[in-house]
């Protein structure tokens, strides 16, 4: 695996791969790899001749007071892990490489960026859409891989590439979970052992909502209540939101007639964790 830090190096390596007739797969990340990231890379490896991973903790998607400065990082471990799953090129730019001093263009996906995580993280999806647009333009992959754990992000990115006619296929992959159900996240590293145990309440709540739906419930409030009850059983968990939204549009629903996503965000100690489940 080659590690590069400059945009022109990425362009040159991708151009060479294209000349060799290879399909280009891309996994954008902020590092601190876990099995969720590695699954995205493995899928890219299976489907593409040349696999590019970016590792960049994007400052524009953090709100003031968030964990930008202490976001977990383990560059040597990440390099070893990416090489281990067969990544060809790791792009790890400095902030000035991505945002030079005269940078002034931002991308905003309007409707999908509202509500859910953006209420607590104003500007977050503008930062995500901007950096993803830049990275997709730079790498120009055939396929780019995103996890369903960040469901609103996935929808924002799908809308972005549709609206801006970007010639890339967005490939979503299911959330990877720990054996006890906790969704894998770089932020799980912030949890103490007691918080780590309590954090399973998010997925327990989502399973309880799924069970209610399987029993015939169609009132979103009933599903949300099931999640909240599970969160309330853990004193270390402070709910941020529980919402039931249309799985395609993320619009609020009053009565369940189409697939919905049940999305939850909660604080556990220092960490703000999110999870979701799609109910067909
Ligand atoms: O999901 C992430 O890690 C980030 O939001 C992404 C897509 C790499 C953009 O910075």
Strand ranges inside the chain, DSSP E: 2-4, 24-29, 50-55, 89-91, 143-147, 169-173, 237-246, 260-268, 271-279
Nearest residue by C-alpha to atom 5 in ligand 1: 128
Q: For residue 119, what are the CA distances in angstroms to 106, 153, 249? A: 19, 14, 17
> Where does a domain end: 173, 202, 228?
173
- Output the pLDDT for position 200: 98
Q: Tell me, yes or no, whether 169 and 191 share the same domain.
A: no
Residue 164: domain span: 2-173
Contact between 144 and 158 (Cβ < 8 Å): no
- Output the pLDDT for position 277: 98
Q: Tell me, yes or no, whether 209 and 149 share the same domain.
A: no
> Where does a domain end: 173, 201, 235?
173
What gap in Å lies between CA 13 and CA 20, rounded to an integer?
11
- Output the pLDDT for position 114: 87
Enumerate residues 6+ apart whose C-beta is below 8 A from 253: 220, 244, 245, 246, 260
pLDDT one-digit tens code per residue, 233-246: 999 999 999 999 99
What are the φ and ψ backbone dihedral angles of 193, each rounded to 5 degrees?
-55, -40
- Residues serving a catalytic function are 37
Q: Which atom of ligand 1 is nearest to the CA of 132?
A: 9
Q: What is the mean pLDDT of residues 49-76?
A: 96
Spatial CA neighbour of 125 closest among 138, 134, 135, 112: 112
Q: What is the mean pLDDT of residues 157-165?
A: 98
Ligand 1 binding pocket mutation candidate from 44, 58, 59, 118 (most atoms within 8 A of CB): 58
> Where does a domain end: 121, 139, 173?
173
- Please list, residue by residue across 68-89, b when 16 or more beta carbons sit within 10 angstroms of its beta carbon and e when fewer do: eeebbeeeeebbebbeebebbb
Indicate the angle between helix axes 35-47 and 75-84, nearest 10 degrees.
Answer: 40
CA of 231 to the centre of ligand 1 (A): 26
Domain presence at residue 181: no
Share of the chain above pLDDT 70, in %: 100
* Total number of domains in the chain: 2
Nearest residue by C-alpha to atom 9 in ligand 1: 128
pLDDT one-digit tens code per residue, 187-212: 999 999 999 999 999 999 999 999 99
Write down the mean pLDDT value for the chain. Answer: 97
**Which structure tokens are listed for 134?**
């830049």
């Amino acid at each position: 695996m080659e590690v590069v830090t400059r945009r022109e190096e990425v362009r040159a390596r991708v151009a060479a791969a294209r000349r060799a007739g290879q399909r280009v797969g891309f996994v954008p990340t902020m590092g601190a790899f876990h099995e969720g990231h590695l699954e995205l890379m493995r899928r890219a490896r299976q489907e593409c001749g040349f696999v590019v991973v970016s590792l960049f903790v994007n400052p524009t998607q953090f709100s003031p007071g968030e964990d930008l400065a202490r976001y977990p990082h383990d560059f040597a471990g990440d390099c070893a892990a990416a090489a281990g799953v067969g990544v060809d090129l790791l792009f790890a730019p400095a902030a000035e490489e991505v945002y030079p001093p005269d940078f002034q263009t931002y991308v905003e996906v309007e409707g999908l960026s509202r509500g859910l995580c953006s209420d607590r993280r104003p500007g977050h999806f503008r930062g995500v859409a901007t950096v993803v647009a830049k990275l997709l333009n730079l790498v120009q992959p055939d396929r780019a891989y995103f996890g369903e754990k960040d469901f609103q992000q996935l929808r924002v990115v799908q809308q972005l590439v549709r609206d801006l006619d970007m010639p890339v296929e967005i490939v979503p992959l299911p959330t990877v979970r720990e054996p006890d159900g906790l969704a894998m996240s770089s932020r799980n590293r912030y949890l103490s052992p007691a918080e780590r145990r309590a954090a399973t309440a998010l997925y327990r709540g989502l399973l309880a909502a799924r069970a209610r739906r399987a029993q015939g419930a169609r009132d979103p409030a009933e599903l949300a209540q099931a999640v909240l009850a599970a969160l309330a059983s853990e004193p270390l968990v402070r709910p941020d939101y529980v919402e039931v939204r249309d799985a395609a549009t993320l619009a609020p629903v009053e009565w369940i007639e189409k697939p919905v996503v049940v999305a939850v965000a909660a604080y556990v100690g220092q960490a703000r964790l999110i999870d979701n489940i799609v109910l067909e």
